[in-house]
Amino acid sequence: MPVAIKFGTSGWRAVIAEDFTFANVRRAITGIARYVASKKPRGAAVIVGRDPRFLGESLVSLAADILAAHNVAPRVIPDPAPTPAIAWAVIRTKSDGAINFTASHNPPEYNGIKFSTPDGAPALPEVTTQIESEIAALDAAPPPSSPGGARSPASAVKREEIDVAPGYLARLKEVIDLDAIKKANLRVAFDPLWGAARDYPDHLLRRAGIEVVTVHDFRDVLFGGHAPEPDDHLLEDLRAAMKRSQAHIGISTDGDADRFGILDQDGAFISPNYIIALLFDYLVETRGWRNGVAKSVATTNLVNALAEHHKVQLYETPVGFKYIGELIDRDKIAIGGEESAGLSIRHHVPEKDGILAGLLCCEMVARRGRTLGRQLDDLFVKVGSFYPRRENFRLTPEVKAKFTSKVHEDPRELGGRRVREIVRTDGLKLIFDDGSWVCYRLSGTEPVVRVYSEARTPDDLEKLSAAAKQWIFE
């Protein structure tokens, strides 16, 4: 039996040479090609891009052949490109979608496929379900042999090469107040973690006359031997660069540049939860945008408190940026974000943009003239303090079976705290009388439960986190 190809919250990902093989890639891309061709039998065009991972060039070429064999014109990006730049190119060129070979922040042994729809957003479940059905149909009745494993001889459609950088960088110049950053004499350090954002934000800043120092700005398919994830423990080289250059802020992006990591002037890592809240407050202040704010169910309630303070509509979505992207596409929100370091803003791409997040933080520090830490203190004074945490716990088969049954129950209390409300937007979220909360989400790909906790003081967070863990294993 062939490996089941399932598109999760950010596409399909697997270990290279294990499940992510050329044979399985052919199946996945053929499923996408058949889906696109069924929606637009004539004149369809799809962008094909990649991050810097191993064999990316070969995968792009394979996808282009399969698309062409299905009369879908491939628009190929020859160099690694950020996911948000690909999303912007889909919108700007009026393409019928994009195939992006990336495993985002996953370790170097992984690769993956993201599919975006004509609005530049990650494909919603109703689309990926149809693609999975096309793959299943292909497996049940393999088509005749043809180029790229497709169903028909190569057509007359032409392969076109496109450069997504100029259009995307021009868009960022419209969104970011580069003059304010320059006037503040802000010094910036940037770490693309060997990923697709190389020569994007630093290039834009330098051309505006802003001092930038960059680390890890060369291709390494092993990403330094670890996941290209802009998390606290992987940003030591960025901290060192900040210290050497006396930078005011450090910005970082993951493998495909859809996630961000931000360091304050003293090298302190600022949680993505807090960055989303700070930028929401800043955009209301500077842009006057009050049309709405969105956050995933696992993201800090500091956003809720600010929405109430600013009298802005709050939307709480399942985990997966595609749900926030849909709200951006409909201009329902000024900003939307997830605690896993993804955000975007209105009139921009309905896709996570780590480059945008970093540049907006630079602008915010420049215009407010205060470090991120001080700005966060100001928010706490304004609406109260919030302390979030995310933890992953591996489960034995026995514990997983027991816990899977447990999360479908309606607990009345946890660790002595009375449950005020149960939310099942995504997983199980328990909200307590004092406003603290815990959210449990079982992984769909491994025996892991993700636990999100938030309390109003650091001490209470420790107690809540311990109680949340105990509830899993008791």
Q: What is the pLDDT of residue 135?
A: 96
For the residues 451-464, what does the mean pLDDT come to?
97
pTM score over 0.75: yes
Q: Whose CA is closest to 217, among 182, 241, 233?
A: 241
260-269 pLDDT per residue, tens: 999 999 999 9
- What lies within 8 Å, CB to CB, of 149 at 6+ separation is 26, 27, 30, 66, 143
- Return d(Cα 339, Cα 464) in angstroms, integer: 18
Do domains 12-163 and 387-473 share one topology? The answer is no
d(CA 174, CA 177): 8
Which pLDDT band holds residue 151 (cuts at 50, 70, 90)?
A: very low
Please say if the pLDDT value at position 148 is more than 50: no
Strand partners, 188: 212, 249
Contacts made by residues 411-417, CB under 8 angstroms, sequence distance 24+: 411/471, 414/438, 414/467, 414/468, 414/471, 415/463, 415/464, 415/466, 415/467, 415/468, 415/470, 415/471, 416/467, 417/464, 417/467
Average pLDDT value for residue range 119-134: 94
What is the pLDDT at residue 474?
85
What's the rounded Cα separation, in Å, for the pair 346 and 331?
6
* Secondary structure of residue 126 in the 3-state scheme: helix
Model confidence pLDDT, tens digit, residues 313-356: 999 999 989 899 999 999 999 999 999 999 999 999 999 999 99
Q: Which two structure tokens, joined as six digits, stand for 324? A: 């926030």
Segment 39-72, tens digit of pLDDT:
999 899 999 999 999 999 999 999 999 999 999 9
pLDDT tens digit string along 81-105?
999 999 999 999 999 999 999 999 9
Tell whether the model's pLDDT for residue 153 goes beyond 50. no
Question: What CATH number has the domain spanning 387-473?
Answer: 3.30.310.50
pLDDT at 156: 72
Paired tokens of 458: 């650091």
Amino acid symbol at 124: L
Share of the chain above pLDDT 90, in %: 91
The pLDDT value given to residue 244: 97
- Cβ neighbours of residue 170 closer than 8 Å, sequence gap 6 or more: none
In sequence order, what are the residues at sequence separation of 6 or more whose Cβ sits closer than 8 angstroms to the Cβ of residue 330?
A: none
DSSP assignments along 215-256, one per residue: -S-S--TTGGGS-----GGG-HHHHHHHHHHT-SEEEEE-TT
Specify the fold of 166-383: Alpha-D-Glucose-1,6-Bisphosphate; Chain A, domain 3 (3.40.120)
Q: Residues, the chain, total?
A: 474
* pLDDT, position 347: 95
Q: How far from each other are the two terminal CA atoms of the chain, in whole angstroms?
A: 38
Q: What is the pLDDT of the chain when averaged over all its residues?
A: 95
Res 155: pLDDT? 59
Tell me the CATH number for domain 12-163: 3.40.120.10
Q: pLDDT class for 389, splitting at 50, 70, 90?
A: very high
Domain ranges of the chain: 12-163, 166-383, 387-473
Phi, psi of 98 (to 5 degrees): -145, 140
Q: Please give the Cα distance from 296 to 324 (Å, whole number).
A: 8
The mean pLDDT of 8-23, rounded to a whole number, is: 91
pLDDT tens-digit series, residues 415-426: 999 999 999 999
In this prediction, residue 141 carries a pLDDT of 83
**163 SS3 class:** coil
